[in-house]
Amino acid sequence: MIVYGTSMSPFVRKVLVALYEKGAPFDHKPVFFHADDPGFQAASPVGKIPALDDDGYLLADSSAILHYLDAKLPTPGLIPSEAKARGRAVWFEEFGDAELFPTLIVPFVERFLKPRMMKQECDEAKAQATIDEKFPPLLNYLESQITGDYLVGDAFSIADISVATNFHNLRLANFEVDAGRYPKLAAWVSKTLERPSFVSAIAAAKN
């Protein structure tokens, strides 16, 4: 099984965390999006990362890949089977991908990606305005939803993976969740990013 994509990407990190949780062996090709790699191009029709090649079965999109992996490698399950828990888990996966990512990625792009990898100047005003104006509703919502160790029920799931992955990119942008203002969220982010699966997926970016 080959996973394509640098784990600097929160979407690639989702896939790596799922595989580490399941203890499944895999090869990692840490390419960037639109990479000139024939295997990657075959697996990713629109050139986005991540993409997967499982013995010739090609699949793009982190959500599709996570659903595939959970069906193929069911232990431990990352998608709850009970109806309400499953609905909530899929909601948080979508919330992470479609609501958190576009906003939380802005400081990462400005403070980390542009100066370090694109040789461009950081637009700090843009980063700070996003943090000040767009972060509070998202972080307040998450703070209101955390009642225990996990976002859904009493088990780690795609919900935790898809939301927490974005917070690692924020750390790279020198942003930590304010534990005074969002105590439950700050504790949950720290605990989730300290899981061995997240630690391994994050370390993969340094290879």
Chain residues that interact with ligand GSH, rule: CB under 6 A? 9, 11, 33, 47-50, 61-63, 97
**Nearer Cβ to ligand GSH, position 44 or 197?**
44
Q: Count the neighbouring beta carbons within 10 Å of the beta carbon of residue 189.
A: 23
Of 13 and 22, nearer to ligand GSH (C-beta) is 13
The encoded tokens of residue 133 equal: 């104006």
Nearest residue to 105 (alpha-carbon basis) of 185, 169, 32: 169
Q: What is the DSSP letter of 32?
A: P
- What order do you get walking across the sheet with 27-29 strand by strand? 27-29, 2-4, 51-54, 57-60
Half-sphere exposure of 167 (CA within 13 A, CB side): 22
The least CB distance from residue 148 to ligand GSH, in Å, is 26
- What torsion do the CA atoms of 98, 67, 24, 155 make, to the nearest 10 degrees? 80
CB of 147 to ligand GSH, least distance (A): 27
Closer CB to ligand GSH, residue 66 or residue 177?
66
Least distance from C-beta 12 to ligand GSH, angstroms? Answer: 7
Phi, then psi, of 91 in degrees rounded to 5: -60, -50
Q: How far is the CB of 183 from ligand GSH (least distance, A)?
A: 29
65/127 with CB nearer ligand GSH: 65
Would you say 108 or 182 has its CB closer to ligand GSH? 108
Q: Minimal distance in Å, beta carbon 144 to ligand GSH? A: 25
Burial of 170 (C-beta count, 10 Å sphere; 0-12/13-18/19+): buried
